[in-house]
């Protein structure tokens, strides 16, 4: 469904992503792991065209050309969830969710509200519709952010360390929403330090080191007998 070939990204003199080749099949859950600064966020942002990079990105068999295609339209099909939630603080929970469906997709307001409430039920926040984000806990904020991304009915969901900013006791509620999504067949790319999640939900684990993909394997294989020495070292540090 999405295929990346020869992706390179520079920030000035800094070579952040090096010859990335990667493929994500429909309904796959791909977990990206790697040390801080290895380029995980940058790779995710490239997949959503928030970052401009050299190389080829192929979606559903079409090569994406920045010059001729409207990236805003492409972005509608890709949901993104951030480490720090990035909810819109001047809007209520429901307004956060219906904002893009109404103003980007031009859906009827009534319909957007009905769908939005349904999504909030789904992430277990049906009673928070009229709250402002400032009164929610981190876990609740992140679930709203997931619902907000889902409201655009994306084909692909990107998660950038969705639980890293949460207190340990709130991590579970967010992961269980993500797990449910995976079970429903959502295609997901998840940057995470939650190895338990990667092991249980991931179809593939990608290990990134200094901007290079070092190893790709199903979780059992990568965690139990990593082929590459750098992967072994990294895993021994975090497991």
Partner 1 sequence: MEFFADLIRTSPLFLEAAYITVKITLVAVTLGSFIGLFFALLKISKSKILNKIANLYITIIRGTPLIVQIFWIYYGLSSIVQISGFWAASLALAVHNGAYIAEIIRGGIQSIDRGQMEAGRSLGMTTRLAMRRIILPQAFRRIVPPMGNQFIIALKDSSLAAFVTIAELFNVSMRLASSTFKDIQFYSIAGLYYLILVILFSFLVHKLENKLAVGSSGMK
Ligand X SMILES: Nc1ncnc2c1ncn2[C@@H]1O[C@H](COP(=O)(O)OP(=O)(O)OP(=O)(O)O)[C@@H](O)[C@H]1O
Label residue 18 exposed, middle or buried (CB < 10 Å: 0-12, 13-18, 19+). Answer: middle
Told to check if 41 binds Mg ion by CB under 5 A, we report yes
The listed partner (Mg ion, partner 1, ligand X, none) that binds 152, CB under 5 to 8 Å by sort, is partner 1
Toward Mg ion, which CB reaches closer, 41 or 140? 41
Which of 39, 82, 46 shows the shortest CA–CA distance to 64?
Answer: 46
> Is position 14 an interface residue for ligand X (rule: CB under 6 A)?
yes
Q: Calculate the alpha carbon distances from 60 to 26, 90, 156, 186 in Å.
A: 10, 36, 11, 15
> Is position 11 an interface residue for ligand X (rule: CB under 6 A)?
yes
Long-range residue pairs from 174-180, CB within 8 A, at least 24 positions apart, any chain:
174/139, 174/142, 174/143, 174/146, 177/123, 177/124, 177/143, 177/146, 178/146
Q: How far apart are CA 219 and CA 205, in angstroms?
A: 6
Give the separation between CA 81 and CA 124, rounded to whole angstroms. Answer: 17
Q: Which of 2, 4, 7, 16 binds ligand X (CB under 6 A)?
A: 16
Q: Which two tokens stand for residue 56?
A: 């080829």
Q: Which residue is nearest to Mg ion (CB)?
A: 41
Rule CB under 5 A: is residue 38 a binding residue for Mg ion? no
Choose among ligand X, partner 1, Mg ion, none what residue 166 binds, the Cβ cut-off being 5 to 8 Å by kind: none
- Which one of partner 1, Mg ion, ligand X, none is in contact with 38 (Cβ closer than 5 to 8 A by kind)? ligand X
Positions touching partner 1 (CB under 8 A) are 48, 50, 72-73, 75-76, 78-80, 82, 84, 86-90, 92, 99-100, 103-105, 130-132, 134-135, 148-149, 152
Query: Binding to ligand X (CB under 6 A): which residues in 99-128?
Result: none
The answer to the question of residue 192 lying near Mg ion (CB under 5 A) is no
Identify which of residues 24 and 32 has a Cβ nearer to ligand X in the complex: 32
Q: Which residue has the tokens 């990608």?
A: 206
Q: Which tokens in the block code for residue 216?
A: 């790709």
Contacting ligand X within 34-93 (CB under 6 A): 34, 36-42
């Amino acid at each position: 469904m999405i295929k990346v070939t020869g992706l390179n990204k520079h920030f000035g003199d800094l070579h952040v992503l090096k010859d990335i080749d990667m493929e994500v099949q429909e309904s796959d859950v791909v977990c990206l792991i790697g040390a801080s600064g290895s380029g995980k966020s940058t790779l995710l942002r490239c997949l959503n065209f928030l970052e401009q990079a050299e190389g080829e990105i192929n979606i559903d068999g079409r090569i994406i050309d920045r010059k001729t295609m409207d990236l805003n339209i492409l972005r509608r099909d890709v949901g993104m969830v951030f480490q720090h939630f990035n909810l819109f603080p001047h809007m209520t929970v429901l307004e956060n969710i219906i904002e893009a469906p109404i103003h980007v997709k031009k859906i009827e307001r009534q319909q957007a509200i009905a769908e939005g409430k349904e999504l909030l039920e789904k992430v277990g926040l049906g009673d928070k519709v009229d709250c402002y984000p400032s009164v929610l806990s981190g876990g609740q904020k992140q679930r709203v952010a997931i619902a907000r991304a889902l409201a655009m009915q994306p084909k692909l969901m990107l998660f950038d360390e969705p639980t890293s900013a949460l207190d340990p006791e709130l991590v579970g509620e967010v992961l269980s929403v993500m797990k449910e999504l995976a079970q429903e067949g959502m295609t997901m790319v998840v940057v995470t330090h939650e190895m338990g999640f990667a092991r249980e939900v991931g179809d593939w684990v990608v290990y990134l080191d200094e901007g290079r993909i070092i190893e790709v394997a199903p979780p059992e294989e990568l965690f139990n007998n990593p082929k590459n020495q750098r992967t072994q070292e990294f895993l021994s540090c975090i497991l």
